[in-house]
Structure 1
Amino acid sequence: MKRITLLCCFTFIMLTLFSACSSKDVSEIKLAEVTRSVFYTPQYVAIENGYFEEEGLEVDLQTTWGGDKTMTALLSDNADIALVGSETSIYVYAQDASDIVINFAQLTQTDGTFLVSKSDKPNFTWEDTKDSIFLGQRKGGMPQMVGEFVLKKHNIDPHDDLELIQNIDFANIPGAFVSGDAEYVQLFEPTASMFEKEGKGHVIASFGEESDFLPYTVFMTKESYLVENEDIVKSFTKAIYKAQQWVQETDSEEIAKVVQPYFEDTELDILASSIERYKQQDSFAETPLLSEESWNHLQTIMEEAGELPKQAPYDELVNTDIANEVTED
C-alpha cells in the first residue's frame, strides 16, 4: 500500500512538473488579419499543419476586417502581430509615431485582384475599358492603387477615360457588380472563380501579373514588441517559412483540403482553382524576405495614386535580419 501511495505521489509530481514546463514553453500570440482570404493560404497552412505549435507558439487568430481597424488593433495592443498591407505601416510612419511599425515577414508578393467583366471578351485589350463603368476598390487601399497603376501603365486615365466607382464597401463590391451597371470589377479569389462558375462574370486579366512584385500583405509588429520579443517573432517567422515551402511543393487540391475549415462556404473545387491561380502567378511569397526593390515599387505605386504621405526608408520600416536568419537555418 505504501509503495502504491509513493508511486501515485511520484506520478502526480511528474505530471505537475510536465504541465508547468509545457505552459512555460508556449508563447501566446494575438494575430490580427485584415480580412479572411484565400490569398493568405500559407498563414492558414501554418496553423493547420501545426507549424506554429512546433515552434512553441499558440496563435489566437482574429479577423479585423479593414486596414484601419487592423492597425488600430496593433497599436492599441489588442494584437501582437498584424497581417495587413505594407502601406499601413507607411501611414503610421508618416504620423511621426513614437513606436513605428516594422515589416518582418512577407506573405504575398503580388496584387491579389483580377479584372472581371460581365461579358466574355476573348480578345480583350485594356483599351476596351475606356468609356466603361469600372467598379474599383476602396480609395487609398492597395487594390485600388494597383488598379490605377495598371490602367495608367496602359495609357488609360482612371479618372478621365472611364467612370471609376470607389465608394462601395469591400464586402458589398461583388453584389454591386451583379446588380449594377458596371462592366468591369476588381475581385479577389475565390469570388472571381465563383462568378465564372455561376455565369456572373469572366476573369479576363490579372492585376498581379500586370503590376509586378511588391510587398502586398506582410506580417508586422510594433518596434517595441519586436525588441522585447525577438525570439517569439523569430519562431513565428520560422513557422510561416515552413508553410511557404509546403505550399510551393504541394498540389493545390491538397492545400485546399487543409485550409477548407477557414472557407466553409466555398466548394473545394473553387478553393483549389483559386489557390492554383495564385500559385501560377507567384502571388504566394516563397520566403518571408521583403526586398528593397519591391518596397520601392510599392512607394512608386502609392505616389502615382497620390497616396504616399512621405518617403519611408526601407532600412527603418523593414527588418530583414529575422527572415535572413530563418531562411539560412
Structure 2
Amino acid sequence: MKKSIKILLCTMLTAGSMLAGCSSQQDKTTVELAEVTRSIFYAPLYAAMEKGFFEEENIDIELTTTWGGDKTMTALLSEGADIALVGAETSIYVNSQDPAEPIINFAMLTRTDGTFLMAREEPDNFQWEDLNDSVFLGQRKGGMPQMTGEYVLKHNDIDPHEDLELIQNVDFANIANSFASGTGDYVQLFEPQATKFEQEGIAHIAASFGEESGPIPYTVFMAEQSFFENDEETALRFTRALYRAQQWIYEASPEEIGTVLAPYFDDTPESTIADAAVRYRSQRSYAETPLLPEEAWNNLQNIMEEAGELPERSDYDKYVDTTIAETVTEK
C-alpha cells in the first residue's frame, strides 16, 4: 500500500498501568494528501487539521500542494499520494482513459463554483448584458472555473466567444496580477483575491458564479479503488474528521475562522481570511456533509458537456462511493 502505517508499539517491559494506556490506542495512520492548490475555498480541510479532528481519529495528514489538476492526478496515480483533493472533473477525465484501477470520489468538500465576476468599475445594478463588447479575463480552457463561467454566461444569453473578447492565455497564478496591471474590464477570481481587490479598490464583485451555476461537486476527495479495498477503516476515519470540520465551519464565528486558518495563509490578514470564508459560507459553497449527490454529479457533467469537454458520461454508481459518507453522517 502507498499509505504509511506507523504502529504505536508498547514495550512488554512496562508495568501494568502503562500497558493499559497503550491498549486503548489505535494504530496511527499517516495519509499522504495532495491538494490541487492552497485556497480558502478548502477551509474545512485546514480546520480539520488545525482543530485536531484528524489527530483525534489517529490520522497524521501529510499535505502537499501540487499546483494543478494534472499534477495532482499524477501524484495519485504514481503512488505519490493516498488521497487527492481536486475537481471532480479530473476523475472523469482519468476514468475515461481506462486506468489500471478506477478513481473513486468519496467525500465532497465544496458544492459550488468558487469564483466571482469582478468588474473594474463598481457596477450600478449589474446586468449580465453589461458584459457585451467587454474584455473578459477568464480562466484556463478545459478547467472547471472556465467551464462554469462559460456555462453561466450562456445561460444569461451571453456568447463568451462572440459577444465579448475572452482572454484565456494567462496562467492561473498570474490572472489577478494581469488584471491589476490593466488587462480586461472583467475578471473571474477566487477568494481571497476577490476580497483583497475590493478592499484595495482595484475591482468590485458583480456576481457569484457559484450562486449562478447551482450545486456541483466542485472539489472532492478521491482515491484509487484499492485504497478502499485495503483500508476502508482509514477512509471512514478520514471522512469522519472532515465531517466534523464541515459542521464547525458553519458554526464558528468569523474571528475564530480567521484565527484557525491563518497558519495556512501567511501573507493574508486574519480579517481578510475571515471575510473570504464567510462569503463562501453565506452562499453555501462549503459542503455541509461529505455526501456527493447524484444530481450534483449530473449537473457537473452537463456543464462539461456544454463546454465540449466531456469525454463520455460517467456512471455515478460506479465512480462515486456514498457508503462512507452515509456511514459517518448517520445519527
| Match for residue 286 of structure 1 among 272, 285, 288 | 288
Return the letter of the residue paired with 2:45. Q
| Match for residue 312 of structure 1 among 305, 314, 328 | 314
Partner of 1:27: 29
What is the CA deviation profile of residues 203-241 of structure 1, one whole-angstrom value per residue up to 9, with x for unaligned ones? 111000000000000000001112111110110000000
Partner of 1:269: 271
Superposition misfits of 4+ residues, deviation over 2 angstroms:
9-24
How many angstroms apart in 2 are the aligned matches of 1:204 and 1:245? Answer: 29
- The yes-or-no answer on 1:228 pairing with 2:227 is no
Q: CA deviation at 1:252?
A: 2.0
| Match for residue 87 of structure 1 among 86, 89, 93 | 89
Return the letter of the residue paired with 2:159. D
What is the CA deviation profile of residues 116-167 of structure 1, one whole-angstrom value per residue up to 9, with x for unaligned ones? 0111112210101111110001111110000000000011111111111111
- Could you say what secondary structure the match of 2:223 adopts? strand
Partner of 1:124: 126
CA contact (8 A) 2:26 2:58 kept: no
Partner of 1:325: 327
Return the letter of the residue paired with 1:33. E
Partner of 1:5: none
Return the letter of the residue paired with 1:180. G
- Could you say what secondary structure the match of 1:215 adopts? coil
| Match for residue 46 of structure 1 among 45, 48, 64 | 48
| Match for residue 162 of structure 2 among 149, 160, 163 | 160
Return the letter of the residue paired with 1:211. S
Q: CA deviation at 1:264?
A: 1.2
How many angstroms apart in 2 are the aligned matches of 1:21 and 1:131? Answer: 69
- Could you say what secondary structure the match of 1:229 adopts? helix
Partner of 1:102: 104
The alpha-carbon distance between structure 1 residues 161 and 10, as it changes in their structure 2 partners (threshold 3 A), is closer
Partner of 1:179: 181
**Structure 2 residue ranges without an equivalent (≥5):** 1-10
Partner of 1:217: 219
The alpha-carbon distance between structure 1 residues 21 and 61, as it changes in their structure 2 partners (threshold 3 A), is farther
| Match for residue 68 of structure 2 among 66, 69, 72 | 66
How many angstroms apart in 2 are the aligned matches of 1:263 and 1:13? Answer: 45
Partner of 1:202: 204
Partner of 1:245: 247
Q: CA deviation at 1:289?
A: 0.2
Q: CA deviation at 1:313?
A: 0.5
The structure that has the greater radius of gyration is 1
Return the letter of the residue paired with 1:44. Y
Partner of 1:193: 195
What is the CA deviation profile of residues 71-106 of structure 1, one whole-angstrom value per residue up to 9, with x for unaligned ones? 000011100001000000000111011211100000
CA contact (8 A) 2:151 2:303 kept: yes
TM-score under structure 1 length normalisation: 0.94
Aligned length: 321
**Structure 1 residue ranges without an equivalent (≥5):** 1-8
Return the letter of the residue paired with 2:117. L
Query: Which is worse superposed, 197-206 or 248-257?
Result: 248-257
Partner of 2:137: 135
How many angstroms apart in 2 are the aligned matches of 1:47 and 1:14? Answer: 33
- Could you say what secondary structure the match of 2:272 adopts? helix
Q: Which structure shows the bigger proportion of residues in helix conformation?
A: 1
The alpha-carbon distance between structure 1 residues 127 and 227, as it changes in their structure 2 partners (threshold 3 A), is same
TM-score under structure 2 length normalisation: 0.93
